């Protein structure tokens, strides 16, 4: 029983699903689904218009479906939205001068990180070599001492 | 020594970035409309639905385009400021009654005062989309040639009025058409 209630609670989320639109043309429907997942709901900011229940999101979904029915291309619709709401409306911002930093920063940080790892490994290796060399040298001197003392002892005996 | 300086420098750079980030308002989205022509519309007037208004009707005057709704909570705090501005007679104020019930909208204007020269209705929010409206109230300042010169998202306060809007309106009124 407890488990059933738990499952029902989990499922209840889907009761509040957004009023997504059905387009007659399956290709248009596909474009509709990808587009609404790429556009940001500006009121709730961290949701796409496909996910959001906000009124603005619903209006924008209507706009997208109407434009698709008018035979507008995806690019035209994206252009329509950025003309009005700016690049911020796109979850995947366009690659251009202003957004360059946004796109290349992760790669730059990755390279910096890799370089740091390399440097650390190298310096550690060099240090190890140094200590092992020093250890060997020490062992050598100890050996020589022993040899010498043995020799000395031998002389005595 | 370097061992301590590098993390310190990194920390300072990060703190600077985060500090700047803290002072920004994430809900403020730069408007792509500044210095662009005001999008066209033809919408019924709230008080006379059989008549329509288009931006072309307002050519030659500086006008304020204020997006409002009776359901909008921060519009209520903005309303007295707009009433003050209307009393100054400094500018034509056009209201875009956004996704509202005309009955509620009229009641609102009757009780709180009507700062608008004309209010137009946008019950489906289509004009709102054309103006990139995402948070009511929003205010656009449009010059004599129909170019959007300024946009504010969120309620206009007395300080905004004194520091930004009135100087801007004076400047735009002095511009030739």
Q: Cβ separation of A85 and B30 shorter than 8 Å? A: no
Whole-number percent of chain B with pLDDT over 90: 76
Summarize pLDDT for B19-76 with one digit per residue, the tens: 988 887 766 666 788 889 999 999 999 999 999 999 999 999 999 999 999 999 999 9
Mutate to test the interface with B, among A85, A87, A98, A119 (most CBs of B within 10 A): A85
Cα B24 from Cα B28, distance rounded (Å):
8
Which superfamily does CATH assign the domain made up of A22-94 to? Cytochrome C biogenesis protein (1.10.8.640)
Has residue A15 got a pLDDT over 70? no
Q: Cβ separation of A59 and B128 shorter than 8 Å? A: yes
Lowest mean pLDDT among A79-83, A98-102, A127-131, B171-175: A98-102
Summarize pLDDT for B70-125 with one digit per residue, the tens: 999 999 999 999 999 999 888 999 999 999 999 999 999 999 999 999 999 999 99
Domain count, chain B: 1
Residue B69 lies in a domain: yes
Summarize pLDDT for A29-75 with one digit per residue, the tens: 888 988 888 888 887 777 888 888 888 899 999 999 999 999 889 89
Strands B52-53 and B118-122: unpaired
Determine the residue of chain B that is closest to A66 in CA distance: B126
Is this complex's ipTM strictly greater than 0.90?
no
Residue B160 sits in which domain range?
Answer: 36-174
- Could you say which of B29, B125, B126 has the minimum Cβ distance to residue A85? B29
Q: Cβ separation of B32 and A83 shorter than 8 Å? A: yes
pLDDT confidence tier of residue A14, bands split at 50, 70 and 90: very low
pLDDT for residue B54: 93
Entry pTM: 0.72
Q: What is the mean pLDDT of chain B?
A: 91
Q: Cβ separation of B124 and A56 shorter than 8 Å? A: no
Determine the residue of chain B that is closest to A61 in CA distance: B129
Determine the residue of chain A that is closest to B39 in CA distance: A84
Q: Can you give the CATH number for the domain in which B102 is found?
A: 3.40.30.10
Enumerate the residues of chain A whose CB falls inside 8 A of the CB of residue B135: 42-43
Residue B71 lies in a domain: yes
């Amino acid at each position: 029983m407890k488990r059933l209630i738990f499952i029902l609670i989990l499922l209840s989320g889907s009761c509040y699903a957004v009023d997504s639109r059905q387009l007659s043309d399956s290709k248009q429907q596909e474009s509709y689904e990808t587009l609404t997942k790429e556009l940001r709901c500006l009121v709730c900011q961290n949701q796409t218009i496909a996910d959001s229940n906000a009124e603005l999101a619903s209006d924008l979904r209507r706009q997208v479906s109407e434009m698709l029915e008018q035979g507008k291309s995806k690019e035209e619709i994206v252009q329509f939205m950025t003309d009005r709401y700016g690049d911020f409306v796109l979850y995947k911002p366009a690659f251009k001068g202003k957004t360059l930093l946004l796109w290349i920063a992760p790669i730059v940080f990755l390279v910096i990180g890799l370089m740091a790892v390399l440097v650390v490994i190298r310096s550690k290796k060099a240090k190890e070599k140094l200590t092992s060399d020093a250890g060997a040298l020490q062992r050598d001197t100890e050996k020589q001492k022993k040899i010498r003392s043995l020799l000395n002892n031998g002389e005595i005996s | 020594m370097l061992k301590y300086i590098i993390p310190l420098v990194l920390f300072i750079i990060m703190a600077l970035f985060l500090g700047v980030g803290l002072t920004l308002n994430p809900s403020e989205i730069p408007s792509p409309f500044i210095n662009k022509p005001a999008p066209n519309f033809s919408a019924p007037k709230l008080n006379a639905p059989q008549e329509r208004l288009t931006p072309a009707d307002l050519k030659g005057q500086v006008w304020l385009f204020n997006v409002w709704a009776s359901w909008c909570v921060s519009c209520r705090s903005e309303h007295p400021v707009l009433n003050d501005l209307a009393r100054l007679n400094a500018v034509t104020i056009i209201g875009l009654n956004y996704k509202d019930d005309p009955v509620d909208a009229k009641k609102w204007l009757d009780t709180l005062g009507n700062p608008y020269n004309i209010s137009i209705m946008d019950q489906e929010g289509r004009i709102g989309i054309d103006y990139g409206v995402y948070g009511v109230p929003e205010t656009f300042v449009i010059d004599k040639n129909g170019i959007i010169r300024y946009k504010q998202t969120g309620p206009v306060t007395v300080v905004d009025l004194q520091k930004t809007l009135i100087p801007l309106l004076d400047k735009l009124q002095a511009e030739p058409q």
